[in-house]
Amino acid sequence: MAAAVMATGLVVSTEVSSFLFGVDATAASGFGSRVLVACCVTLIVVGVILLLRRRWDRRSLAGIGLTGLRADASGFALGLGTLVAAGLAMLLALEVTGVVSLIAIDPVRLLGFLATNTVVALLLEAVPEELAIRGYALTNLRDAFPPAPAALLNIATFLVVPILAITLQGALAAARGTGDEVLLAPAGEDPIVYYTMLTAFGYLLICARDATASATVWTSIGAHLGWLTMNRLVLGGESVRYEMDDLGMLLFFAGYATISVIAFSWLRRRHSAAR
């Protein structure tokens, strides 16, 4: 259900924004257009998830990781800081060993990117997706299954989101007579690489959810934002440019994801031992 809510929220927000205002959330669109679509996604998905939790499940919001301002804020900082620190550490290691090279950096553009990317990434992806998948879905799966099967099913739920969104978008395009091809992954993405990375990312975000004693979902939200930010900086950002071949890219992604998982797992064991 959480995957359907997230996918539907994405597609409905995109379609409604395009129909009413003629805007979308692509990188080529202006900041205002992307924020408009992103706000719609957050309002729809978060609204439905909160309604399901309170009215359908009749349970507290703390159970899905909304644990209070103080715990949520510290969890968000932990998630974001861990991913950014791991990414920067990996880039530094690859730079020192000559695997990648920093070509150029524009401080003004970098600050502008960080500001706009943070707003759009939080509203379009990190907040709604984490509340739906690592919040609502993971909590309910853990109520029904042992930890390992619940984690596997949660990762599967995460993988279903783009499939449902692409299918729904394709159906709408076909109904309008504009559909031209069947996609297995977002346009421009290799399906095998895309879903492999999504699987690893899904596991990382589960580890983030468990990294604090309160199990706040905001740790996952911060980690999600950190992942999107580092990836967009490295993969062709205008403010920062790296010279990196396929091996360097593989080492970067595998390295900083692994460092993040190890850090979150260590934190989980630490607070578990303290109980």
The top-scoring range by mean pLDDT among 17-21, 237-241, 270-274 is 237-241
Instruction: Write down the pLDDT at residue 172.
Output: 81
User: How does residue 179 score in pLDDT terms, banded at 50, 70 and 90?
Assistant: low
pLDDT tens, position by position, 134-160: 999 999 999 999 999 999 999 999 999
C-alpha distances in angstroms, 246 versus 29, 190, 208, 252?
Answer: 29, 14, 27, 10
Dihedrals φ, ψ of 240, to 5°?
A: -135, 130
Instruction: Write down the pLDDT at residue 20.
Output: 63
3 state SS of 99: coil
User: How does residue 192 score in pLDDT terms, banded at 50, 70 and 90?
Assistant: very high
Tokens of 239: 């403010």
What share of the chain has pLDDT > 70, as a percent?
93
Say whether pLDDT at 223 is over 60.
Answer: yes
Are 39 and 25 in contact by the 8 Å Cβ rule? The answer is no
pLDDT tens, position by position, 57-83: 999 999 999 999 999 999 999 999 999
Instruction: Write down the pLDDT at residue 129.
Output: 97
102 bridge partner residues: 242
First to last CA, the chain: 33
Q: Whole-prediction pTM value?
A: 0.94
Instruction: Write down the pLDDT at residue 254.
Output: 95
* Half-sphere exposure at residue 129, Cβ-oriented, CA atoms within 13 angstroms: 30
Say whether pLDDT at 27 is over 70.
Answer: no
Say whether pLDDT at 21 is over 70.
Answer: no
